[in-house]
Amino acid sequence: MKLKPTPRQAESLDLTALRLVVCLGPGGVGKTTVSAAFAVDAAAHGRAVDVMTVDPAPRLLDALGLDADSAEPVDVSLGSMLHPRRSKSHHAKLRALRLDPKRTFDAIIARYAPSNAARDVILENRIYRNLSDALAGVGDYMAMEKLLDLASNPATDMVVLDTPPASEALDFLDAPRRLLELLNSRAISLLGAPGGIFRRRLRVVDIAARAVLAAFDRITGLNLLRDVQSFVGSFDGMYEGFAARASAAQEKLRAEDTAIVIVTTAEASRIAQAREFIEALERTDLRVAALIVNRVMAKLPDSSEISSAKIPAPLKKKLKRNLADYGALKTREETSLRALRDSLPKGAVMMVVPDLGREPLTIADLAEVGRSLRSR
């Protein structure tokens, strides 16, 4: 899905050319629904699409009719959603999954471990078990690992990623850089990682820190230092693999065939959050491809239609009063949309999704949302 820029502003977002779509946005704006709608629409037009949610909320899986533990891609039936010209395409398909950080972490260990014995030592280590379940940031990096796996599949044309809400999404996008910093930090040397690119000369403070940890072990009997050193040492020969994957993830987010999409609604607070997202992404040199405003009000009827309707006068009066109220809301919404357009990054496109008047709960609903996406 590649942008089609004009000298002034992009006109559309082409779902047929991109390899990765990353959807960001604050909670409650319909980001998960828009992610699924992107995926369904692209698949309906003949592409092989994988959609993955990092948000633990099960709404995406419910909408696609999947089980909550779908940690590996599961085929989703498109049925009558296929575009008529693509109805005979054997390539069109849609798969969906929800990230399971623990399973992904285990799979990475199995991939990079030099032997089955080394793999088992790590998987059974108590430090690893706690790390893979609880350490902040592990889920973010595991999502990137899973993303690389999906994107590297030659049978997949496009991956759509539904990220966590609000600031958590920015942490997610920053996960590869943070991992690279960790792998190159003095903490790795202090905890006992062997040579290679991570060997460093211990300073006096490092020796003192080891002495403190050793004293703590003697007092508590926890053998923490030994276990941590054993855990870090068991990764010998694997750090380079982690670093290479983190670098690949950074490159993938900045690739020409990747689109970072911000989803919002027209409320003032949500617009402010969307602008904060744009500014934060620009500071990290990540390009925003599109801003999608969800649940935009439909065009209102003309009041003359009410006047000419053959209904009782009191009902006409009530309908006109309601129309005036909605008209004020529509005017406020249009003002917000103009302000958003003025703040768009260069080359980005703004798109709107009309309010369906109901919660999208089925694959048909998602297809309708996908079809309704239009430039504004």
Q: What is the CATH number of the domain that holds 184?
A: 3.40.50.300
CA dist 66 → 47, 100, 180, 342, 363 (Å):
20, 15, 35, 40, 11
Of 90-94, 125-129, 370-374, minimum mean pLDDT range: 125-129
Query: Hey, how many other C-beta atoms are within 10 angstroms of the C-beta on 70?
Result: 20
Report helix, strand and coil shares of the chain as percent, to nearest 5: 55, 15, 35
User: How many domains is the chain built from?
Assistant: 1
- Give all strands of the β-sheet with 349-354 in edge-to-edge order: 74-76, 93-98, 48-53, 158-162, 20-24, 258-264, 288-296, 349-354, 374-375
135 neighbors 171 (Cβ within 8 angstroms): no
pLDDT in tens, 319-360: 999 999 999 999 999 988 888 888 888 889 999 999 988 888
Q: Is residue 189 part of a domain?
A: yes
Q: Is residue 8 part of a domain?
A: no
Question: Mean pLDDT throughout 349-376?
Answer: 86
More confident of the two residues 46 and 9: 46
Q: Cα separation of 232 and 307, whole Å?
A: 77
Q: Is residue 326 part of a domain?
A: yes
131: pLDDT strictly greater than 90: no
Q: Is residue 33 part of a domain?
A: yes
pLDDT in tens, 289-330: 999 999 999 888 888 888 888 889 989 899 999 999 999 999
Domain limits for position 221: 20-375
What pLDDT does 84 receive? 58
Q: Is residue 9 part of a domain?
A: no
156 band by pLDDT with thresholds 50, 70 and 90: very high
pTM (global) more than 0.75: yes
Q: Cα separation of 194 and 9, whole Å?
A: 52
What pLDDT does 83 receive? 60
What pLDDT does 59 receive? 66
CA dist 207 → 3, 115, 120, 197, 232 (Å):
54, 32, 30, 20, 17
Q: Is residue 2 part of a domain?
A: no
Q: Cα separation of 113 and 109, whole Å?
A: 6
Q: Is residue 4 part of a domain?
A: no
More confident of the two residues 188 and 265: 265
Question: Mean pLDDT throughout 167-173?
Answer: 75
Q: Is residue 11 part of a domain?
A: no
362: pLDDT strictly greater than 70: yes
